[in-house]
Amino acid sequence: MKRIHFYILAFAFMGANLVVAQDNQEDKKPQGHINNNKFRQLYQEFATPNMYRTASGAPGKAYYQQQADYEMEIELDDKNQKIYGVETITYTNNSPDDLEYLWVQLDQNVRAKNSPARLKNGAKIPRLERTSKFVGSYVADPFDGGFNIDYVKNSKGKPMSFTINQTMMRIDLPQALESGDKVSFSIKWRYNVNNHVKKRGRSGYEFFEKDGNRAYVIAQFFPRMAVYNDVEGWQNYQFWGNGEFALPFGNYKVSITVPADHILDATGKLQNRKNVYSKEMMKRYERALNSYDEPVIIVTQEEAEAAEKDFSNKKKTWKFYAENVRDFAFASSRKFIWDMQAVDINGKKVMAVSMYPKEGNPLWEQYSTKAVVSTLKTYSNHTFDYPYHKAISVHAKNQGMEYPMICWNYGRPSEDGSYSERTKFGMISVIIHEVGHNFFPMIVNSDERQWGWMDEGLDTFMQFLAEQDFAKAHPESVESTGGKYPSRRGEPSKIVPYMKGGQDRLSPIMSNPENVYQLGPNAYGKPATGLNILRETIMGHEAFDHAFKTYAQRWKFKHPTPEDFFRTMEDASGYDLDWFWRGWFYTTDFVDIGIESVKKFQVRTRKAGGGSFVYFVGEDDDRYSKEYEGKSVVKNDENLKEYLMDNFSAEQRATMNDPKYFYEVAFNKPGGLVMPIIVECTYEDGTTEMMEYPVQIWRKNDNLAKVVIASEKKIKNLQLDPKLETADIDTSNNMWPNEEGQSDFNQFKEKKTIKQKK
């Protein structure tokens, strides 16, 4: 069945999105307005392209980034839960600027006794509170976890002047560091390691009362160089706890001393494997290097349980070297079970690794490394081949945090080993998410401190794709859910509750993570949903995937901004998406499109003055019937096609449809966001057809759009957005006829008539 569509845009005014200011009280003349068309370009929001960042979204010819190389000697004191370190930083100034001072991040100071971060959210007296929280809030002394800086010295061993401002330390240089030069300096430091289960935080230890052991996941543990770039100079915004990290790339040479019976892994390549592995561990490791189908256990549960009973007083040093990474982290415990599996990433071998205590089994042994393998494959297919030699998933209660090559993840069975489907999928999802962070922001190195969505949102979008791939690779894991992975975020319908929330608790995506009420939906869910809508509904897989991969490859091992992402997505796809970025990322507007009216017409024709004329007559309108009563008028049900034949050639006639029904459909838009109009049409004979109108249908009128449908069949009903593709917050206006069997148009007409009578 063929049909003909005619687009009719109904104009209240010829200007787009016209907003007229209040009438002048004196002369009642309308006031002018600025261009507030939803489709205007983002010239006001974007910075002017320059030699560092081009208008296409690619790095410019003069793009630069700084480098920070580290040599560190670390010791973990398990008995006293302290960490000690000495580091030498070699900082290379690749910028065109001479630098008078350097900024170093002291993120552990967020847990210092006098940290302002403790007071940032204010407080009120609760009606009911757990005893443990009451004690921690009002009775116990605050935990003192801030850095103790013993010294800062130059390469000749002489003290350097420094000033600590909360979580930032400024090091004053005796003379400016000129463009192209390097400077080396050393810092000696120490701090108390926090219990991340009780005191929270992205790193720390968990204490296991039954066996008296601790499992450490250690990060942000050393003074780290801040970013200096062409966008804002030094990124020295304080670490308040939510906004994460902005870091330069560099090379790391790190020695970590821990109790001799600990199992440890970290960012980088292990340099002294034979010194820290037993002979049996080495044999298993060699076997794992060629095991592409299943993990090989390097340290068994039986061996880990035996180690829990003995607390060695001896020490062992693990040595690592990491090249071109933005950070360094490690995990250490005598409780760890350890397994590894090889992954083929387009001919390159990568090791997928899991570390977990017995409390994580049987769940972790069954699924953790499988999730790592699947994640590396999916992300590599959509971005670039994973460049590092390993990816590690470490079990840690209540954690979900990422670093180069290593991450911590939650998901713990009950003590008897049983677990719910929710626990299982929660664990798999967090592993996919955190391993995926290797790509965003560990390699595509965005500024998390300022733009949390650039890593969390992009990663959550990729997580959604990876979860579906995991279900395909492991169908047994999704038998209970009908073969579909129960993704928490990504599908448009799941962001609706957030989008229709109170505006006083909503912030645009383009907000600093510290300044939003609901960080999860704001920085994770909404950006991921937006990208999903672009891929599935607006751009299509081919155009979107090419553009997304172009962005990832342009900016791997570099520092992109939001504008670089937005510009690249348009540049590589040929889609003008300024309307989407503005609405979805820069505002808290929402999608709400409805069917306002459906009017059925007949077509009547007459010949006059040597020409043919066509009249559309509403089924409740007898105006034309009276005007042409008794005259030569042909109705469309009397074979309109034949009557019109003399207007077309024989070749054209052979391809013409024969429409018998004409409908004018009016769509309104109570919501602020423009979106394509997707309509499912059900005909009287039960057949259905999808009709899609591009978003540009709103370009000249932001409130109302009309279309004409010429069909051979009678329409029974229409449904907007039948697959819930656009995050429409109110579907009650998406059907015609409505539930009462009366069209919205007729209801509207009745109300209007009553109002006029009054």
Query: What pLDDT, on the 0 to 100 scale, is given for residue 23?
Result: 47
pLDDT tens digits for 280-333?
A: 999 999 999 999 999 999 999 999 999 999 899 999 999 999 999 999 999 999
In a domain, 440, yes or no: yes
Tell me what the mean pLDDT of segment 652-676 comes to: 85
The upper half-sphere exposure of residue 139, i.e. CA atoms within 13 Å in the direction of its Cβ, equals 6
- Residue 106 has, within 13 A of its CA and on its CB side, a CA count of 25
How many helical (H) and strand (E) elements, i.e. helices and strands, does the chain have? 18, 33
Closest CA to 41 of 732, 678, 578, 527: 578
Q: Which of 331, 380, 293, 342 is nearest to 76 (CA)?
A: 331
Higher pLDDT, 547 or 126: 547
Separation between Cα atoms, residue 479 and residue 484, nearest integer Å: 8
Residues 472 and 408 in one domain: no
Same domain, 636 and 510: no
Q: Are residues 387 and 424 in the same domain?
A: yes
How many CB atoms within 10 Å of residue 456? 27
Residues above pLDDT 90, as percent of the chain: 79
Domain assignment present for 32: no
Bridge-partner residues for 321, per DSSP? 253, 269
Domain boundary pick from 420, 445, 470: 445
- Of 541, 575, 609, which one is at a domain's C-terminal end? 575
Same domain, 161 and 52: no
What's 229's domain CATH number?
2.60.40.1730
CB 642 within 8 A of CB 721: no
Q: Which helix (H) or strand (E) holds 319?
A: strand 315-325
Cβ–Cβ < 8 Å for 742, 43: no
Answer with the one of 445, 467, 486 that is the final residue of a domain: 445
In the DSSP assignment, the letter for residue 203 is S
Chain centroid to Cα 724, Å, comes to 20
Same domain for 616 and 729: yes
Q: At what angle do helices 363-382 and 541-555 cross, to 10 degrees?
A: 90
For residue 425, tell me if it sits in a domain.
yes
Distance, in Å, from the CA atom of 251 to the CA atom of 270, rounded to the nearest integer, reads: 14
For the four alpha carbons of 245, 248, 249 and 255, in that order, the dihedral sign comes to negative
Same domain, 277 and 341: yes
Beta bridge partners of 315: 259
Instruction: For residue 183, give the DSSP letter.
Output: E
Residues sharing a CB contact under 8 Å with residue 464, sequence separation 6 or more, in sequence order: 487, 489, 490, 491, 528, 532
Q: Do residues 203 and 214 touch, judged by C-beta distance below 8 A?
A: no
Question: What does DSSP assign to residue 12?
Answer: S
**Sequence-separated (6 or more) residues with CB below 8 Å from residue 485:** 425, 467, 468, 470, 471, 478
**Does 601 share its domain with 570?**
no
Same domain, 280 and 388: yes
Is 679 in contact with 705 (CB distance < 8 Å)? no
* pLDDT in the model for residue 642: 60
pTM surpassing 0.75? yes
Q: DSSP code of 720?
A: E
103 part of a folded domain: yes
CB neighbour list of residue 740: distance below 8 Å, 6 or more residues apart:
none
Least confident window among 91-95, 638-642, 694-698, 715-719: 638-642
Model pLDDT for residues 226-244, shown as the tens digit of each residue: 999 999 999 999 999 999 9
Confidence of residue 7 (pLDDT cuts 50, 70, 90): very low
CA atoms within 13 A on the CB side of 81: 19
Domain extent for 293: 67-121+130-445
* List of residues 6+ apart from 423 with CB closer than 8 A: 363, 411, 412, 413
Is 426 in the same domain as 462?
no
Instruction: pLDDT band for 6, please (50, 70, 90 cuts).
Output: very low
Helix (H, G, I), strand (E, B), or coil: what is residue 476?
A: helix
Could you tell me if 651 and 727 lie in one domain?
A: yes
Number of domains in the chain: 3
Angle made by CA atoms 238, 589, 58, in degrees to the nearest 5: 60
Residue 637 has φ and ψ, to the nearest 5°, of: -80, 0
pLDDT at 738: 79
606: β partners: 613
Q: Is residue 697 part of a domain?
A: yes
Residues 567 and 492 in one domain: yes
Angle at 703 between CA 702 and CA 704, to 5 degrees: 110
pLDDT in tens, 154-195: 999 999 999 999 999 999 999 999 999 999 999 999 999 999
Q: In this model, does residue 756 exceed pLDDT 70? A: no
545: exposed, middle or buried (Cβ count in 10 Å: 0-12, 13-18, 19+): middle
Amino acid occupying residue 508:
P
Kindly give, in sequence order, each residue whose CB lies less than 8 Å from that of residue 16, ignoring residues fewer than 6 positions away.
Answer: 37, 38, 39, 699, 700, 701, 702
> What's the pLDDT score for residue 712?
86
134 and 260 together in one domain? yes
Tokens of 34: 């600025």
Tens digits of per-residue pLDDT, 69-100?
Answer: 999 999 999 999 999 999 999 999 999 999 99
Give pLDDT tens digits for 472-520.
999 999 999 999 999 999 999 999 999 999 999 999 999 999 999 999 9
Q: Which residue has the higher pLDDT, 347 or 638?
A: 347
With respect to residue 633, please indicate whether it lies within any of the assigned structural domains: yes
Distance CA 39, CA 36 (A): 8
Examine residue 392 and state whether it is found in any structural domain, yes or no. Answer: yes
Q: pLDDT at residue 748 above 50?
A: no
pLDDT tens column, 419-461 = 999 999 999 999 999 999 999 999 999 999 999 999 999 999 9
Written as six digits, the tokens of 713 are: 């069949």
Domain annotation covers residue 580 = no
Q: How far is CA 637 from the centre of its chain?
A: 54
Average pLDDT over residues 730-734: 96
Mean pLDDT of 212-227: 98
